[in-house]
A and B are shown apart, each in its own frame.
Chain A
Amino acid sequence: MARTPSICPFCGCGCEFYLASHGGRVVGIEPSPSNPVNKGMLCAKGWNAYEFIHSPDRLTKPLVRKHGTLVESSWEEALKTVAGKLTEIKSQYGPRALAFLSSAKVTNEENYLFMKMARAVFGTNNVDHCARL
């Protein structure tokens, strides 16, 4: 059984816990005893923060809408569609016709890259996230 340090995804307290994993699955959670934020404690959400990871509802393949329905596709097709379509809209209507919504649930590095993509790659400041909610 492996123990991996991780941060609870469920509120801004940022409690640290260890994910206990076995055979590629998270099987339990242990609060970090010495982290000054939570000092060995967690709330009910934190103690249970792993079951959804292995939910059968997880998305496992890219989906592309064809004839009105979302169908499974390869990464190559999905990514090319995204990059192609965004570039096309940008050249047709200008960069301000694009907008990007980042997330208060993903990492700092991902938020940084996402805003860099909006600004440096697609040339728009239309980038925000749902902090107000």
Chain B
Amino acid sequence: MTNSINEFEDADLFLVTGSNTTAQHPLIGSRIINAKERGAKLLLIDPRAIQFAQFADLHLRQNIGTDVAVLNGMMNIIIEENLYDRTFVEERTEGFDQLKSVTSRYTPRVVERISGISAADLEKAARMYATSDKAMLVYCMGITQHTTGTDNVKSCANLAMLTGHIGRPSTGVNPLRGQNNVQGACDMGALPNVYSGYQPVTDTAIKKKFEDAWGVQVLDDKVGLTVTEMMIAVRKEEIKSLYIMGENPMMSDPDTSHIDHALSHLEFLVVQDIFLSETAAKADVVLPAASFAEKEGTFTNTERRVQISKKAVPPPGLARPDWEIICEVSRLAGYAMDYTSPADIMREINTLTPSYAGITYRRLEQSYGIQWPCPNEEHPGTPYLHRDRFTKGRGTFLPCDFKPVAEVPDEEYDFLLTTGRIYYHYHTGTMTRRISILEREAPVPMIEINPEDAKRLSIKNNDTVEITSRRGVIKARAEVTGRVPRKVVFSTFHFHEAPVNLLTNPALDPLAKIPEYKGCAVKVRRCV
């Protein structure tokens, strides 16, 4: 996020798109609702009538995967009506002319045809956003989990820059991070192209710095593979071994049968986890790990705040913290790792990672966390980014054209399946489904279907329905609801009984390599 959670309280308008905030980030959702009560406006752009729809001043229900067209359409209106921030555009951005020429093609009429949003609503939305003083754009995976995810993200940034809604308190672009330490995993370089602090593996000076610090002769300067590419490489037998720590790709990755098949191809699979997940069950070696309550360490939240979590209880049986297990494996493979504690590891992170240089355990223990970038021990941390300038100097407009979802419905597969999460469960359900209160509230996999479609297919509430894509088939209970538009069904990936990722399309965004979880073609029928 470019802003902090507390800045939500002072915003005048929230544009929320592709985020079911009250379900996925409940405490941020409640900040937005509080702000609304105080008089802030809420503009929602989401195909589903999520809980926020009840609070929204305006809700645009675009057809799935048409976000670029909608955002371009808003920008076109803003430029046409001269509502953009001329000073900001002139002083801090470049590429305005290209933006103007691309977005000018997205007239309200064109956008209506693509997205189903009426010209009147689009105009209203554009004016609402452009004329607010402190506007926050909030998005999540509804924006990123598309084959056009990168284009969607760029379009959000274009809109914010065009209106000067960035780089001020309570004004900015805020992608919410899903899992509790996604931010930290990225910051720490658990990515194929960068070391910690986003330092590129291809940069010679950076490579040298890490070689010296780690005492190794040569580090690889070629970018590695992303998780989705890894699975393909496994099937091609280019990758022989996979070491998985705390993840469950058998449930979380698109096209499960492909993943299942890939994992069976491996010569050697190691899984380190707290439960025998669907993935661990396929491993050659399973290493029992400590849960968050059984170890010490830091986590970085969605506003870049690094916070300490302490050990409350010992791990069960012989389970050990992940960091200790990694040290042991490395030592046995001939590389000494002699850390005595997570604080000890953090000292090394401080010296090698400029944005974390001043984030020490001593300081964290005396505060409620520190927000990076924090370049030294005297630095207070950074509540919001891009204050006077963008990291790269001027912000460049990167206009995009609309492209439809990779798998459009046809006569046979006539519905679009979109996937997401519900309030009561987390990720693949390994933890939350073992919590009785949460399980009581949401015990079975549901599939949302619009009343008109349900009527046509003779589906009633709680009927068992079968959903089939070109990749697989699952059964779930129907929830007949106007929350989903016609010809769209919605389900979640929390339930192993109905693993929705058997159905999803592994088609990737070419840059971010994010699969299109938010739209694939399926057919639906009632089971008899």
In the complex, what's the smallest C-beta–C-beta distance from A33 to chain B, in angstroms?
A: 11
What residues of chain B lie closer than 8 Å to A119, measured between beta carbons? 195, 201, 210, 214, 219-220
What residues of chain A lie closer than 8 Å to B188, measured between beta carbons? 108, 111-112, 115
Contacting pair A60 B192 (CB below 8 A)? no
Interface contacts (Cβ under 8 Å), in number, total 440
Contacting pair A13 B25 (CB below 8 A)? yes
Known: A78-B287, A113-B326. A128 touches B226 (CB 8 A): yes
For the complex, what is the distance from the CA of A35 to the CA of B348, rounded to whole Å? 27
Contacting pair A133 B308 (CB below 8 A)? no
Closest to B279 in A: A101
For the complex, what is the distance from the CA of A83 to the CA of B249, rounded to whole Å? 23
Known: A100-B243, A121-B333, A130-B252. A12 touches B431 (CB 8 A): no
What residues of chain A lie closer than 8 Å to B120, measured between beta carbons? none
Task: Say yes or no: is B380 at the interface (Cβ < 8 Å to chain A).
Answer: no
Mask for A58-100, Cβ within 8 A of B = 1, else 0? 1111111100001000010011111111110100010111111
Question: From residue 5 to 48 of chain A, which have CB atoms closer than 8 A to chain B?
Answer: 5-16, 19, 21, 24-26, 32, 34-38, 41-45, 48
Known: A26-B313, A130-B247. A51 touches B326 (CB 8 A): no
Contacting pair B180 A104 (CB below 8 A)? yes
Contacting pair B25 A11 (CB below 8 A)? yes
Known: A14-B302, A102-B190. A36 touches B432 (CB 8 A): no
Contacting pair B180 A132 (CB below 8 A)? no
Closest to B245 in A: A103
Known: A106-B246, A107-B297. A62 touches B349 (CB 8 A): no
What residues of chain A lie closer than 8 Å to B214, measured between beta carbons? 116, 119-120
Closest to A80 in B: B332
Contacting pair A62 B288 (CB below 8 A)? yes
Contacting pair A111 B268 (CB below 8 A)? no
Task: Say yes or no: is B233 at the interface (Cβ < 8 Å to chain A).
Answer: yes
Task: Say yes or no: is B35 at the interface (Cβ < 8 Å to chain A).
Answer: no
What residues of chain A lie closer than 8 Å to B268, measured between beta carbons? 85-86, 89
Known: A82-B287, A128-B227. A51 touches B310 (CB 8 A): no
What residues of chain A lie closer than 8 Å to B244, measured between beta carbons? 100-101
Contacting pair B314 A24 (CB below 8 A)? yes
Task: Say yes or no: is B239 at the interface (Cβ < 8 Å to chain A).
Answer: yes
Q: Which of A5, A15, A117 contacts B27 (CB 8 A)?
A: A15
For the complex, what is the distance from the CA of A78 to the CA of B513, rounded to whole Å? 33
Contacting pair A107 B299 (CB below 8 A)? yes
Q: Which of A52, A53, A103 contacts B294 (CB 8 A)?
A: A53
Binding site for B on A (CB under 8 A): 2, 4-16, 19, 21, 24-26, 32, 34-38, 41-45, 48-55, 57-65, 70, 75, 78-87, 89, 93, 95-133
In the assembled complex, 5 residue pairs joining A and B whose CB atoms fall closer than 8 Å, in A order, are A14-B299, A35-B368, A36-B6, A62-B285, A99-B241
Additional A-B contacts beyond A98-B241, A113-B327 (16; CB < 8 A) = A2-B312, A12-B25, A13-B302, A16-B368, A26-B313, A51-B435, A53-B313, A57-B434, A59-B288, A64-B284, A65-B283, A101-B243, A104-B181, A107-B297, A107-B309, A124-B224
